[in-house]
Structure 1
Amino acid sequence: MIHYHTLIIGAGYAGYSLAKELRKLDPNRTILLISSDSADYYSKPLLSNGFSKQKSAAELIQKTAEQMAAELNISIWPFCHAQRIDATQHQLHTDKGLLHYQQLVLATGASPVKLPLPAATEGLVWSVNDLTDYQKFLELSQGKRKITVLGAGLVGIEYANDLALAGFQVDVIALEQQPLAQLLPPELGQVLQQQLKAAGVQFYWGSAIAEAKRVEQQLQLVLADGRHLETELILSAVGLKPKLELAAAARIDCGKGIKVNQNLATSVADIYALGDCAEVCGYNLMYIQPIGLSAKALALTLTGQQTAVQFPVMPVIVKSPALAVVSWPAPSQQQGEWTFEGQGQDWVAKYQNNAGVLLGFALTGKMVAQRLRLAKEMPALIA
């Protein structure tokens, strides 16, 4: 059995960010990072604009696992699957052996939500959540002209825009009535839709795929409301769900994610969580900035300086070349109204309560430059 001071499960941005911060603070601690994939280091946000740049998965790799291990002076086990946590014994069972830890950090990420779809779509539906997925979808798209995107949230819109720029005929199917329904008021959703249509993206709102039939190289789709369309490949981008199985099996409290307090500690001693898998004080934030802040705070805590993570207002930046978009949506339980200022593609939308207190905002076009000023007008998410 091998002993490590800190054992990190997951080689995404969260796992690697924590390893970097730990190494800055403690040059001598033994750190092992395990990953079910190759553990190569890359920027996941770049996956949703790689097609238009004609990048292969290999070209998106910034450093290999071997290079990261040498740079950080840590141990990395790629293609290693965590099987079971024995919290009482401080042990992790893996398919490569038994590991002993003093501190265990879960950075297991999230997996794509899979929709029930007609049998005829089998083999033609893909989600892109890592480099392997990206390369597979890139290969599947070769020689294709028509691609359908399921979902009009952040990831769906980014991929739709990128695929259109790459020269594909892109259709978007979504249950909502506008793009980025969770981030934008309808008025600004309409502005974004117009720009995406100008880029060649077509939208099918308010319905789902009910029937599918293969005819030669084409996939004929029938929506629940009777509309028809043809496609050759489907990219499913209907959302992500935190990976909770390992934590739940160890009887760690879970909700939307693995529940942690402001110190990122779970309900089980010496086990922590951060990143897409974590629910921090009720918030499950799958964005880069909160992960970076979490890694800095947790590294301090793990090296003996108990540090509560703090989340300021962190506007969401949408990678949509058709229209610059930044948003910080108001909590759903907050009562207020939208006000708008601007013209054309350049808008400032503010969501305020009856007292004029700013609760959320959305910016498009040139107005995205106001995001930091508006963010400072609002109280921190977690102080």
Structure 2
Amino acid sequence: MAENHPVIIVGSGHAGLQLARNVRRLQPTSGLVMICADDGVDYAKPQLSHAFSQQQSAEQLTRKTAQELRQELKMMLLTEQRVEAIHPAEQTIVVNGRTLAYSKLILATGARAFVPPVAGDASDDIKTLNSLQEYRHLRERMMQGDRVLVLGGGLIGTEIAHDLAVAGKQVSVCDPSAQILASLLPEFAAQRLAETLQALSCDLLLNNTLEMLQRLPQGLRATFTNGDAREFDHVICAAGLRPNSELAAQAGLNVERGIVVDSQLRTSDPYIYALGDVAQIDGRLWPFLQPISQCAAALAKTIAGEPTHVTLPVMPVNVKTPRFPLQLAGETRAADVDWQIEQDADSLLAKAYRDEKLVGYIAGGTAQMQGLALLRQLSI
């Protein structure tokens, strides 16, 4: 019977591990299998945005090895193995050529870094920073050469650029938008963060994209759409993420931007769930730790036989740029709000109102700690 088979989690990132830990608290002896394509170590992924300036090795960022996770969670953890196919009708998956049966299957396959197409013989030299393994490789490479181009001025790109600049690198940030963090911040707040980066000698190449990357005897030659050409030693792409939903699509599950799930994180198949960066909830992707943790706690209850709906409140976004950190929540990009702004050399506190109701805020610098109080006041 299918109910006698284990729960199988595909993916060992934050989503998969949070779910496994919650399952174990509720079901200490149930059958549990986790499958991952990497070495399965537990590490704090957000710390990758600070690791260069803190001179941390990959080993220092590791919290638990795969063997330690096996012991902690009393589960079968299959590392460096890939799920090749899902057969929903049989409730089985194929892993490295062998078939495993499941009672419930959870897809926590995460997302991969998107690298836009770039002409030139050095396009393969564009690196990403989306895993501990990639950080280990990048850290070794970047021991040589200080000129770094970061593609993408969004949340991750800005944090990486800030960290590299603090670490003493010569950093340029390229983004097609007219400002950094264009999807999160209004222009006045983006400008404050831009000034912080520029004070760290970051060069902002906005309204611009990388068109060609060519190898030189020493370094790389980058040509941009505005006609400029510059030389760099390294190029890191942080231009966004793409959910790893191909496996679900091949199995016939409903996939749009990510794997479509209902309020219990169930996919279009009653025995398959999705969680984390790959899950599309109410038409949105939620690639942040707090909502993922809340989803994992709810899904563990559902798996344990207590159907639980996920309710995600308004959650803050933290921009981890220590020289001028920001917290924001609510409608920070709406065009029909009135901003009340207080700022000085060390702080920024901006409140967005609509019909005299607080609908968003931005708290930066020394005012960042006021964010949580404002979060409770939001009328959304």
TM-score, normalization by structure 1: 0.95
Match of residue 182 from structure 1: 183
Structure 2 counterpart of 1:201, which letter? C
Whether the 8 Å contact between 2:123 and 2:214 is mirrored in structure 1 is: no
Counterpart-to-counterpart distance in 2, 1:122 and 1:66: 37
- Does residue 44 in structure 1 map to residue 27 in structure 2? no
Relative to 1, partners in 2 of residues 1:322 and 1:332: Cα closer, same or farther, differing over 3 Å? Answer: closer
Whether the 8 Å contact between 1:263 and 1:307 is mirrored in structure 2 is: yes
- Does residue 363 in structure 1 map to residue 376 in structure 2? no
Counterpart-to-counterpart distance in 1, 2:149 and 2:335: 35
Structure 1 counterpart of 2:363, which letter? L
Whether the 8 Å contact between 2:148 and 2:236 is mirrored in structure 1 is: yes
**Superposed counterparts of 1:67-82, under 5 Å:** 67-82=68-83
Structure 2 counterpart of 1:377, which letter? Q
Counterpart-to-counterpart distance in 1, 2:356 and 2:295: 32
Relative to 1, partners in 2 of residues 1:220 and 1:329: Cα closer, same or farther, differing over 3 Å? Answer: farther
Shift of 1:184: 1.3
Match of residue 199 from structure 1: 200
- Does residue 163 in structure 1 map to residue 153 in structure 2? no
Whether the 8 Å contact between 1:313 and 1:379 is mirrored in structure 2 is: no
Shift of 1:332: 6.2
Whether the 8 Å contact between 2:330 and 2:378 is mirrored in structure 1 is: no
Shift of 1:196: 1.1
Shift of 1:155: 0.5
Relative to 1, partners in 2 of residues 1:164 and 1:334: Cα closer, same or farther, differing over 3 Å? Answer: closer
Whether the 8 Å contact between 1:4 and 1:32 is mirrored in structure 2 is: no
SS at match of 1:120: coil
Whether the 8 Å contact between 1:9 and 1:108 is mirrored in structure 2 is: yes
245-254 or 6-15: bigger deviation: 245-254
Match of residue 99 from structure 1: 100
Match of residue 245 from structure 1: 246
Match of residue 12 from structure 2: 11
Relative to 1, partners in 2 of residues 1:213 and 1:35: Cα closer, same or farther, differing over 3 Å? Answer: closer
Counterpart-to-counterpart distance in 2, 1:244 and 1:213: 32
Counterpart-to-counterpart distance in 1, 2:53 and 2:287: 24
Match of residue 373 from structure 1: 373
Relative to 1, partners in 2 of residues 1:183 and 1:107: Cα closer, same or farther, differing over 3 Å? Answer: same
Counterpart-to-counterpart distance in 2, 1:72 and 1:137: 31
Whether the 8 Å contact between 1:183 and 1:329 is mirrored in structure 2 is: no
Shift of 1:222: 2.2
**Superposed counterparts of 1:265-276, under 5 Å:** 265-276=266-277
Match of residue 20 from structure 1: 21
Shift of 1:108: 0.3
Shift of 1:296: 0.5
Whether the 8 Å contact between 2:184 and 2:332 is mirrored in structure 1 is: no
- Does residue 62 in structure 1 map to residue 63 in structure 2? yes
Match of residue 152 from structure 1: 153
- Does residue 227 in structure 1 map to residue 228 in structure 2? yes
Counterpart-to-counterpart distance in 2, 1:357 and 1:250: 46
Match of residue 290 from structure 2: 289
Shift of 1:350: 2.1
- Does residue 208 in structure 1 map to residue 222 in structure 2? no
Match of residue 131 from structure 2: 130
SS at match of 1:76: strand
Q: Deviations over 1:133-161 (max 9, x none)?
A: 11111122121110110001010011001
Shift of 1:331: 7.7
Counterpart-to-counterpart distance in 2, 1:289 and 1:77: 26
Structure 2 counterpart of 1:227, which letter? D
Counterpart-to-counterpart distance in 2, 1:247 and 1:273: 9
Structure 2 counterpart of 1:362, which letter? I
Whether the 8 Å contact between 1:38 and 1:79 is mirrored in structure 2 is: yes
Whether the 8 Å contact between 1:184 and 1:329 is mirrored in structure 2 is: no
Whether the 8 Å contact between 1:313 and 1:376 is mirrored in structure 2 is: no
Counterpart-to-counterpart distance in 1, 2:251 and 2:335: 36
Counterpart-to-counterpart distance in 2, 1:132 and 1:230: 26
Counterpart-to-counterpart distance in 2, 1:84 and 1:331: 41
321-330 or 141-150: bigger deviation: 321-330
Shift of 1:333: 7.0
SS at match of 2:16: helix
Q: Deviations over 1:88-146 (max 9, x none)?
A: 11101111521100010010000111111122323421011111111111122121110
* Identical-pair percentage: 33
Alignment size in residue pairs: 379
